Amino acid sequence: MPLLKDVKKGDVKEEKKAARDDGGEAKRGKAAAAGQKTKAPAAKDERKDAVGQKPDTPAAFTAPSQSTQSMSPEVKELYPPDQIKVVSLNDIMDVSNSQSISKTQYVQNDEGKRVAIKEPSEPQKAVLDQQLFDKHYGYRRVDLTLGRKVHWHFKQVLKWRKVDWAHFFMGRVPITKWLPSYNWITDLRADVLGGVMLSIMSLPQGLAYGYLVGVPPIYGLITATFGPLVYTIFGSSRHNSPGCFAIAALMVGGVVEQFAHVDDVQAAIENTHQPNICCKSASSVIEPEAAIGVTSSITFLVGLWQIFFGLLNAGLLAVWLSDHLVQGLTSGAAVHVFTSQLKAMTGVDGVPPTSEPFGLIKFYLCFFRRLHTIKLPCIIISLVGNFLLLLSSYFIDPIIKKWTNLKFPMELLLVSFSILLVFLSEGTRYQINVPVVGKVESGFPSPQVPSFNLVGELVWHGISIAIISFVIHIALAKLVSKKFHYEIDVNQEWFALGAMNTISSFFGCFVGGSSIGRTMTQVKFGTTSQLSTMVCCFIMVGFVYGAGAFIYHLPKAVLACIILCAMKDLYIQLFRGFRLCRESTVDFMIFFVTLVSVILINVNTGLVIGIVFALLTVVFRTQWADSTCMGRIPGTSDFKGLGHYRSAEEIPGIKVFRFDAPLYFANAELFILSVHNACGLNPVLVKAKLIERAAAEKAKEAMDDSSEANKTSSRDMQLRVVGRRLADASVDSVAEDPAEHVVTQLTHIIIA
């Protein structure tokens, strides 16, 4: 390409070539044909002329006019200011009259300076609407329905080879990936120690959560054995510890209270002794077989829902449950758990269940009216138990942590000591009369198909429990995986939890989930895989077969203490949640509405109310979206809000407008009004003003017979921001069409 020494607008001469030989001429011809930049020697006195310009010798123009201070650092580095020739903006493009678009290319002249050349102008493309655009460029309508997607995926599956099927199987059964590559030399010790500590924690928690559900406590140990063992096969998290989970146990316990068969005769006898109408709804005796049947049914249904969500790739469902919503949900559930354990810790009888709507209010009304039934041994055991558990958590464990990762087994010691104390005092004058667990059969029950009699009534309960247990589980999994830098398959976690609950339901287990305490214990011990969970399950098998004979004298108050102290973080979270009002009013309202709904009604209904309220806040924020005009910061290419930055300046003739929300039908009117206010121009008011002035002008012309100059002067009235194109003076004045009025001062509106 020939070198350019200088450029004149509208006229370019062809540069005289000083080729040394034919070979050099041929090389330059090839380079020009290929579109490459090639240097060629030229005399400094020679100039180009625009007359007779050829297509391969385009007219040149220079870079847009701007100060070197307004250039970004990247542009300054690529094109130094002393090598750029600056011209005004009008030399590049006339905004109002431009009919063509030119392509630019930077070349280097013999003085080493960069100049910009302009290739031959091309006519602008016609402006097409969507229908003409689709017709001109051959738009093809694609079927995006669910049936079409299923059909497409089915066709792709039919094309799979053995490698694809193997990859699919390994993705659905992650143990086939990590177990063959497991490092038995370096990782086995940490996993075994972690599994032993998990079993020590799972034993008392399993007994306590079984009691919370309303089934014999031995089924808590069975749940802590079967469920985690299934998860080790299908789960993608290396550190999550599934099993008994307080919130899931509370929700299942509410279902058991509502649907399990009761001893109506015993309930009638108890209700006749209640002193007031509030206590007439006191809880009646629930048969263990009926409770186990309802537990198996709801667990099976929860597992099916979770598998279904996994097949639908519903991993993004957790996004709709914000952190503040989950915080309010779990805090409200913690209040229910605390209330449900007051009966065991105080020994007060004749109180109603808390699972019914407004059951918490009824419970406390009856509880305070029946304080005279408090059992002193239960109070003493509860106070001592809670004190020892909190002492271990906040004082003993931090001291031990300095030398070892082992956790002090205060829960196990408390269970053992309380059993021994009650057993030794039996039959003596110092006998401790407190409610105990009683006779429990040891061993695993034979598998039975869950009953489907209550499926229609349990559907909604199954959906809510499935979602809540998954959300808390996946939050823990993501937290730990981020710390240890590995990925979690969210949809596979749906499938893993579903398989865990579905299979374990055949053995009378209740819904499980990941526990924060057990998961963090695995992290502290440095476990690297779910092998630690396997070790825990094998140890729990021994407890299941031998625990029945030992837990007969276990006080229920001790189990209540273990449940409360296991949820101490949720009680702390409850008080911390009120600090959100200082950070974000909307987030605090989501937390507060969910919390109050869960406390006053129940967990299932509170979840729905919380989700609906959270979605409404999103809608309201889009309807009341903020908007602002933006100005350019001098010396930069940044545009910021005029109300936020004093140095921001508007560009004459251009309005840069920002609307902080997606544009849709609900906020379309707000958007238009905001644009009108920002630009200081409302077309409706302008039209009304024009019509009013036209009518006034017509009336004045009819009354005034002055000279033609005065008439012309009266017709030349203008608005401050609009000009009018008037008809010929010889035509009678009529009301102007609003289309005849055009903006003269405001030339561009940019929506950012």
Q: What is the rounded CA–CA span in Å between residue 249 and residue 515? A: 12
The vertex-389 CA angle with 387 and 394, nearest 5°, equals 95
Check pLDDT > 80 for residue 723: no
Question: What percent of the chain has pLDDT above 70?
Answer: 73
What's the confidence (pLDDT) of residue 534?
93
- Round to whole Å and give the CA distance between 508 and 511: 10
When pLDDT is averaged across residues 171-187 and rounded to a whole number, the result is 89
* More confident site: 421 or 75: 421
d(CA 431, CA 552): 15
Question: Looking at residues 583-592, what average pLDDT do you find?
Answer: 89
Q: What is the pLDDT of residues 708-717, one digit of tens each?
A: 555 555 455 4
Q: Which pLDDT band holds residue 279 (cuts at 50, 70, 90)? A: low
Orientation angle between helical segments 531-546 and 218-234, nearest 10 degrees: 160
| 180: amino acid identity, one letter | P
Q: What is the mean pLDDT of residues 277-292?
A: 65
Is the pLDDT score of 9 beyond 50?
A: no
Q: Is the pLDDT assigned to residue 97 strictly greater than 60? A: no
Alpha-carbon distance 572 to 560, whole Å? Answer: 18
Domain architecture of the chain: domains with CATH: 22-123 (no CATH), 188-614 (no CATH), 627-679 (3.30.750.24), 683-751 (no CATH)
In this prediction, residues 354-363 reach a mean pLDDT of: 83
pLDDT score for 688? 83
Is the distance from CB of 445 to CB of 225 less than 8 angstroms? no
Q: Are strands 748-751 and 654-659 parallel, antiparallel or unpaired?
A: parallel
Least confident interval from 99-113, 310-324, 330-344, 443-457: 99-113
694: part of which helix (H) or strand (E)? helix 683-703
How far apart CA 10 and CA 651 sit, in angstroms, is 29
pLDDT of residue 252: 92
pLDDT of residue 68: 45
pLDDT, residue 159, reads 87
DSSP assignment string, 501-530: HHHHGGGT----EE-HHHHHHHHHTT--ST
